[in-house]
Every structure is written in C-alpha cells, then in structure tokens.
Amino acid sequence: MRTVLSLLAAIALLAPAGCRPVQRARVLQTPYAVTDDTGNRRDYRVFLPAAQGRALPLLVYFHGVISPGFSRIASLRSYTGSPVEETGLIQFCRSRGILLLVPTALYEYTFLNCRSRGWLIEKEVDGVEKIIDMVAGRYPVDKRRVFLAGLSAGAGISHHLANRRPRFYSAILSHSQAFVNQAGEPVPPLAKGPQFGVVYGYNEGDYPDLIRICVESERLYRENGYRTILLRDLPPRGHAWSAESNGRFWKLLNRLGRPGEN
C-alpha cells in the first residue's frame, strides 16, 4: 500500500501544469457588501484575471455621463458615456493580470434636459472610497500600484478621489476632463507635488472646452510638481474612450506612478 501511495505522489509531482485545475478569469457582482455613510448599498463589479500567484495591480474605471436621451441631441448622438464594455479594458486587464474594478454610479439627475446617470461628486466619493478599500483589502492587490481612470465625468471623479488621498493612488488617467470647480474651471491640486502621476488625454475633434480644460489642468499640475503627460488627438474622433491606446495608457500610468512609495 505504501508503494502505491508513493507512486501516486510521484505521478502528481511529474504531471504537467496543463493537467492541473486552472483558475479562470471571473466577473464578480458586489462580492462583499458595501454601505456608504448615508446608508445606501453600493454596487460594483470586480473583473478578476486568472490566478497569477502574485499581488495584482488594481485599476478602477469610471464611465462618463450616460443617458438614453442623448440619442435625441445632435451633438451627442454618437456619445455613449463609454461604459467599461466599450473600452476594451476588460480583455486588456485579463490578459495582463490586472484586477479591474468598476463601481456603479448610484444617483440619477437631469443633465441637458435628459435623465442621466453619472458621478455626483459630493454624494458618491464616500461610497466609492469604501468600495475601493474593500476590494484592496479582500483581494491580493499590490498597494503600490492602485490606479484610477475615467472618461469625462469619470475623469472628474478620478481627480477628486486622488486629491482626497494623494498618497494612496499611484497614478490616474484623466480622459477628456480634469479637476474642476463648480463653475467648470480647472483648479490646481490640493497638495503640492510630487504626489500621484497624471496622464491627460483627449480625442481628435473632442469638445473644445474639454480640450482646454485638459491642457490647462496638465499645466497646473505640472507647475505644482506633479509628474504629468498630455496626449493630444487620440483616436477615435469625438468624445469617447480611446480603446486603441490602452497599452500606451498602461505604460504611462506605471511610468508616472511611484512604486515603493505608497
């Protein structure tokens, strides 16, 4: 009997990795309960790559303002708000061993006379921070590589979150928007740099005011000591996430971040 057990153990050690169970990439819908400071349940999705046997970088993505009513406005007819399914980030993150977190916006409001869902900063930040902290605490996240990314209104909340905890995030990707005040004008960072890195970008043919905001904000952050870069005229034309540039975005986020200092 002992001989048989020894033989089975030897076979197990010699078996190729392809014969062993493989952990698949998974999508988890609010795997751990999160409640914000006003008592609201907060929903989110976690896109787990296949097991890598190491701590994973975390990328948190925020879409822009979304409304079915935009299809009736000529200047917004092709604008979707870039939900994560349209960004290419799900496949990109799975193939590179990145843990992708997508919080769900809670509040509806009227924007351009349309019922919309986006990111009301004052009401959202507490719940979103609790989501990020829950995921970072429950999964094997590399705390030195926590990144934020968003388009338009999603870029705005990324800036607000990063300024609340500037040493928590390594870098943010601000696509077609920036850190603005209630009048919609870009404002400088709350803390002198260097803190988190910032990748700014806008599309070819994007809205002129948003282009101005990105250009001005990049200057403000750079002059305050932050590591920044401005990507101009990204594809596709218009106001949408630049999925073709995901590889470039990821390299720059890591280059401008500060591994080992968080």
| pLDDT > 90? residue 228 | yes
Share of the chain above pLDDT 90, in %: 74
The mean pLDDT value for 233-245 works out to 96
| pLDDT > 90? residue 243 | yes
The mean pLDDT value for 125-141 works out to 97
Query: 187 Cβ partners below 8 Å, 6+ apart?
Result: 179, 180, 181, 220
Rounded to whole angstroms, what are the CA distances from 161 to 148, 158, 167, 181, 187? 9, 5, 11, 14, 14
- Residue 92: strand, helix, or coil: helix
How confident is the prediction for the chain on average, in pLDDT?
A: 89
The mean pLDDT value for 158-167 works out to 97
C-alpha to C-alpha distance for 131 and 125, rounded to whole angstroms: 10
Cα dihedral across residues 154, 160, 164, 166: positive or negative: positive
Q: Quick one: pLDDT at residue 78?
A: 78
Which of the four pLDDT bands, split at 50, 70 and 90, describes residue 219?
A: very high
**pTM higher than the cut 0.85:** yes
Q: Quick one: pLDDT at residue 115?
A: 86
Q: Quick one: pLDDT at residue 52?
A: 64
Could you tell me which residue, 117 or 116, shows the higher pLDDT?
117
Which of the four pLDDT bands, split at 50, 70 and 90, describes residue 160?
A: very high
pLDDT tens digits for range 17-50: 444 444 577 899 999 999 999 999 999 999 999 8
Kindly report the backbone phi and psi dihedral angles of residue 156, in degrees, each rounded to the nearest multiple of 5, phi listed first: -60, -45
Least confident of 77-86, 96-105, 123-132, 204-213: 77-86
Q: Quick one: pLDDT at residue 17?
A: 43
CATH T-level fold of 25-256:
Rossmann fold (3.40.50)
DSSP H or E stretch at residue 133 = helix 121-138
Kindly list the domain boundaries of the chain, sorted by start residue: 25-256
Least confident of 73-87, 91-105, 173-187, 215-229: 73-87
Least confident of 109-113, 180-184, 201-205: 109-113
Cα–Cα nearest to 179, from 203, 162, 196:
162
Share of the chain above pLDDT 70, in %: 88
Which of the four pLDDT bands, split at 50, 70 and 90, describes residue 150?
A: very high
Cα angle 193-194-195, degrees, rounded to a multiple of 5: 90
Q: Cα torsion for 211, 235, 80, 69, to the nearest 10°?
A: 60
Cα–Cα nearest to 125, from 95, 97, 159, 96:
159
| pLDDT > 90? residue 81 | no
How many CB atoms lie under 10 A from the CB of residue 45?
17
Query: 210 Cβ partners below 8 Å, 6+ apart?
Result: 152, 176, 177, 202, 239
| pLDDT > 50? residue 80 | yes
C-alpha to C-alpha distance for 228 and 249, rounded to whole angstroms: 12
